[in-house]
Amino acid sequence: MPVDAVLKAAQQAKDQGASRFCMGAAWRQPKDKDVERVIEMVQGVKALGLETCVTLGMLTDAQTLRLKEGGLDYYNHNLDTSEDYYSEVITTRSYQDRLDTLERVRDAGINVCCGGIVGMGESDVDRAQLLIQLANMPKHPESVPVNMLVQVEGTPLMGTEQLDPIMFVRTLAVARIMMPKSRVRLSAGRSKMSDEMQALCFLAGANSIFYGDKLLTTDNPMTNHDLALFKRLGVYSGGSSYA
């Protein structure tokens, strides 16, 4: 995207109450020239008074340091699921590749945004192992997104049995207990959640959401609906991120 289009979206997000702006690209790993373009966006967004977050895939040591030097606040790189179940859903990189990237980000002094996706056919044990992995990192991720799989027509996981909504809420609640200082983020899948289910998530410990029209490729609830729900629940405090 052109830098001016990104900054226009960031200003809109700030005007709507977001405190952090997340920029994502579906790369396996960025090229160095890509990183330089992203840094230009990061610096422009920070100049607007917003925290910055990017998700770009795997990083080299040099790329991670450039992002830190460029002023990046958060880097999102999800583990997605347990190590045992990982190979059932992902083939483009290994679990260790993800852990290595997270280590680079953490060692560079960039805040870590790391969570997973549930509802991919994983077991209760897999969800528990994911949370154990996150909670036993050298430092808890500053942000922990909990995503519900959004099934997309034509993809291998289309038709997967839907996760019980209460089990999703329990997963989020356990994340809150295990990582008490992290921001537990109610993330992808909210477009399929009722207001009542989202309310349970907030009561169970979610204290941040992603909002915006899309999360990479799938729809997200419209901002006006989110703000209306927060007002009904009396929970809005300006702690959302625009993606």
Q: Could you tell me if 160 and 180 lie in one domain?
A: yes
- The H-or-E segment that residue 214 falls in is strand 214-215
Mean pLDDT throughout 111-130? 94
pLDDT of residue 66 exceeding 80, the answer is: yes
pLDDT of residue 240 exceeding 70, the answer is: no
Q: Could you tell me if 183 and 128 lie in one domain?
A: yes
Give the residue with greater pLDDT, 187 vs 136: 136
pLDDT number for residue 153: 85
pLDDT of residue 100 exceeding 70, the answer is: yes
Answer yes or no: is 164 within a domain: yes
Q: Could you tell me if 91 and 206 lie in one domain?
A: yes
Strand 214-215 vs strand 218-219: parallel, antiparallel, or unpaired?
A: antiparallel
Q: Could you tell me if 56 and 83 lie in one domain?
A: no
Distance of CA 144 to the CA centre of its chain: 7
Answer yes or no: is 25 within a domain: yes
Q: Is 56 exposed, middle or buried (0-12, 13-18, 19+ CB in 10 A)?
A: buried
Q: Could you tell me if 31 and 89 lie in one domain?
A: no
- The answer to whether residues 27 and 216 touch, using CB atoms and an 8 Å cutoff, is no
Answer yes or no: is 134 within a domain: yes
For the beta carbon of residue 117, count every other beta carbon within 10 angstroms: 22
Q: Is 236 exposed, middle or buried (0-12, 13-18, 19+ CB in 10 A)?
A: middle
Ranking 13-27, 74-88, 174-188 by mean pLDDT, the lowest is 13-27
Least Cα distance to 4 among 66, 34, 48, 35 occurs for: 48
Q: Give me the half-sphere count of Cα atoms (radius 13 Å) on the Cβ side of residue 115.
A: 27
Share of the chain above pLDDT 70, in %: 91
pLDDT band at 43 (very low <50, low <70, confident <90, very high): very high
- The answer to whether residues 114 and 139 touch, using CB atoms and an 8 Å cutoff, is no
pLDDT of residue 62 exceeding 90, the answer is: yes
- The H-or-E segment that residue 210 falls in is strand 208-211
pLDDT of residue 18 exceeding 90, the answer is: no
pLDDT number for residue 223: 60
Domain hosting 36: range is 1-76
Answer yes or no: is 5 within a domain: yes
- The answer to whether residues 113 and 51 touch, using CB atoms and an 8 Å cutoff, is no
Name the pTM for this structure. Answer: 0.85
Q: Could you tell me if 90 and 11 lie in one domain?
A: no
**What span, in angstroms and rounded, lies between the C-alpha atoms of 135 and 129?**
10
Answer yes or no: is 233 within a domain: no
CATH number at residue 68: 3.40.50.1100
pLDDT digits (tens, 9 = 90+) for 180-239: 999 998 888 777 887 888 888 888 888 888 776 554 445 555 566 777 777 777 776 555
pLDDT band at 128 (very low <50, low <70, confident <90, very high): very high
Strand 240-242 vs strand 208-211: parallel, antiparallel, or unpaired?
A: parallel
Q: Could you tell me if 167 and 111 lie in one domain?
A: yes
**What span, in angstroms and rounded, lies between the C-alpha atoms of 26 and 21?**
17
